[in-house]
Amino acid sequence: MPELPTVDAFRRYLIKEKLIGNRITSVDVTWPRSIISPDRDRFLDNIKDGVITSIDRRGKWLFLVLDKGILGIHLRMTGSLFVVGNADDRIPYVRTTFDLQDGRKLLLSDPRKFGKLWFGDDNKEILAKLGPEPVNELLESHADFRFDEFSKHFIKRNIFLKTLLLDQAIVAGIGNIYADEILLHSKLSPFVRTSDLNKTDIEILFESIVIVIGDAIRDLDLLLQEGVLPVGNEESKSHFKLPRFIGGECQICGSEVAWTKINGRGTYYCEKCQG
């Protein structure tokens, strides 16, 4: 599933492709169930002729702000975005096509069809349950992501650390893969529970969230500048410290990675680094 760093790479990609200022001349949605709100006809009608004025991200949501409202795109499991020329139709699994005034198309490709589309005047409602961003534009700790607030969650609940990291209300944008990377960076075992941590452990975890997410955004941005497009399935990415296959080696100590399930989620970890 595309997590915060990949969704941010898509945001940067769309900006690099100069989508801002472009008008969406028509929209074709071949999988109408992807539209959360409003209904299909109103969705298509609302977006048609909208001019893209900015492109933002919150958590795993991407927002194309139009002069007539906000288009939200959530890539969910397997969604990817491509900007292609008029003659380029080699992209498979296209579920939504936005025709642009300059002759190009913005395509939502989504093999498993879990991606979601939303349109409205104000995205406050869909963002209401979302916790703070971990990093700001400078990839430092975001002003809204505060240690005192974060540490309160460890007193209130006794759950696996990984489960806490996946809670979008505590910090936005972390999914299965980056949760594993953050635990490795913290040198905390995935079997540790929130009540097992002292204040120093929580401080290390807090810092690791900022560092791992910030580094990933930077790495994906460098790849984008080299012409490597973001893809929805992140598991092939080379910048992970924990390879996501059995037999892969921890990129910190060289030990073979271990695998388990935590609350039903496949979890890679290093027994040596996180022992």
Q: Which of 11, 60, 95, 116 is catalytic?
A: 60
Residue 251 token pair: 């990129």
CA–CA separation, 135 vs 211, rounded Å?
9
Choose the binding region for Zn ion from 5-13, 126-134, 201-209, 247-255 (rule: CB under 5 A): 247-255
Binding to Zn ion by residue 187, rule CB under 5 A? Answer: no
Pick from 250, 262, 267, 269 the residue near Zn ion by CB under 5 A: 250
Nearest to 75 by CA among 138, 133, 8, 126: 8
Q: Which of 76, 193, 265, 272 is catalytic?
A: 265
Q: Report how many residues bind Zn ion under the rule CB under 5 A.
A: 7
Classify the phi-psi angles of 39: left when phi > 0, otherwise alpha if psi is within -120 to 50, otherwise beta: beta
* Shortest separation between residue 275's beta carbon and Zn ion, angstroms: 9
Query: Does residue 241 have an active-site annotation?
Result: no
Is 265 noted as a catalytic residue in this protein?
yes
Give 115's contacts (C-beta < 8 A, 6+ positions apart).
Answer: 34, 73, 74, 75, 76, 77, 78, 79, 95, 108
The 8-class DSSP code of residue 23 comes to B
Q: Which is nearer to Zn ion, 66 or 270 (CB)?
A: 270
User: Is 203 annotated in the active site?
Assistant: no
Site string for Zn ion, 206-245 (x = CB under 5 A): ----------------------------------------
Q: Check the CA dihedral 158-200-8-43 and report its sign.
A: positive
Note if 124 is an active site residue. Answer: no
Considering only residues 89-148, where is the footprint of Zn ion by CB under 5 A? none
The answer to whether 272 contacts Zn ion (rule: CB under 5 A) is yes
Rounded alpha-carbon distances, angstroms, from residue 241 to 63, 202, 224: 30, 21, 20
Query: Of these, 36, 130, 252, 258, which contacts Zn ion (CB under 5 A)?
Result: 252
Residue from 33, 112, 253, 259 that binds Zn ion (CB under 5 A)?
Answer: 253
Residue 257 within binding range of Zn ion, rule CB under 5 A: no
Helix (H, G, I), strand (E, B) or coil at 149: helix
DSSP secondary structure, 151-195, as one string:
HHHHHH---BHHHHHT-TTTSTT--HHHHHHHHHHHT--TT-BGG
Kindly list the catalytic residues: 2-3, 60, 265
Q: Which residues bind Zn ion (CB under 5 A)?
A: 250, 252-253, 255, 270, 272-273
